[in-house]
Amino acid sequence: MDASITYGFLEVLSDDNLGYTGGLLLVNQDGKPTEFHCTAPVTENRTQKILYGKTYHNHIFCDLIGAALVKKCSASPELLFIEQRQLKQLAGEIAAPVLMVEPAESDSVLEVMTVQYPEFRIDHLNVSVLTTDLEQFEFVKEACDRFTTTLTLDEPFERIRQAIGEAQNVARQSDAA
């Protein structure tokens, strides 16, 4: 397996005053950042909320934030990790496999296949591979195993949350001045 895999981690944060802000962190196998992109806050729009109906939050998370951040990258992520279900729709919209990372609900070992998507457990997390392509599943599993020799799969999400939090603090201070 190529040692130069680009791992992408995408997170969207909500702030009552600022709206939704997304961050995409690209890292190498050792967790070293290679790119970071952050959106300006996206505020809710009443007209769009009416028009999009139940798909409104998916529109914000996937179309306005997720897909836009992936397009900004100079290097495309080869794997894209998400923690939020609203971002699952990206699986059909970008070239990279999208992986849903969630805390494991129990200490029991999971079956390799779930009802809908292939899934595996790594450390304290369940990882759902949002594809039915078993060749991609093998690549993804090996890449995750390599990455987790250095870091856990949830650690980059915390970096994104902290970076967005800093950006939001700066925005609040600018508004207050």
Q: Is residue 2 part of a domain?
A: no
pLDDT for position 3? 59
Q: Is residue 30 part of a domain?
A: yes
Select from 24, 1, 20 the least CA-distant residue to 159: 24
Q: Could you read off the pLDDT of 36-95 as tens digits, one per residue?
A: 999 999 998 899 999 999 999 999 999 999 999 999 999 999 999 999 999 999 998 898
Q: Is residue 53 part of a domain?
A: yes
Q: Is residue 165 part of a domain?
A: yes
Q: Could you read off the pLDDT of 121-177 as tens digits, one per residue?
A: 998 999 999 976 777 888 999 999 999 999 999 999 999 999 999 988 887 777 776
pLDDT for position 86? 93
The residues facing 37 across adjacent strands are: 24
Q: Which domain holds residue 36?
A: 7-176
Question: Could you give the CA distance from residue 138 to residue 145 in angstroms, rounded to a whole number?
Answer: 11
Q: Is residue 139 part of a domain?
A: yes
Output the domain CATH number for residue 130: 3.30.2170
Q: Is residue 130 part of a domain?
A: yes
Q: Is residue 134 part of a domain?
A: yes
Q: Is residue 1 part of a domain?
A: no
* Count: domains in the chain: 1
pLDDT for position 111? 46
Sheet holding 79-82, edge to edge: 33-38, 19-27, 7-15, 79-82, 98-103, 125-129, 119-122
pLDDT for position 105? 74
pTM for the predicted model, two decimal places: 0.89
Q: Could you read off the pLDDT of 15-35 as tens digits, one per residue?
A: 888 899 999 999 999 999 999
- 117, pLDDT greater than 60: yes
pLDDT for position 113? 40
Could you tell me which residue, 157 or 2, shows the higher pLDDT? 157
Phi, psi of 64 (to 5 degrees): -80, -30
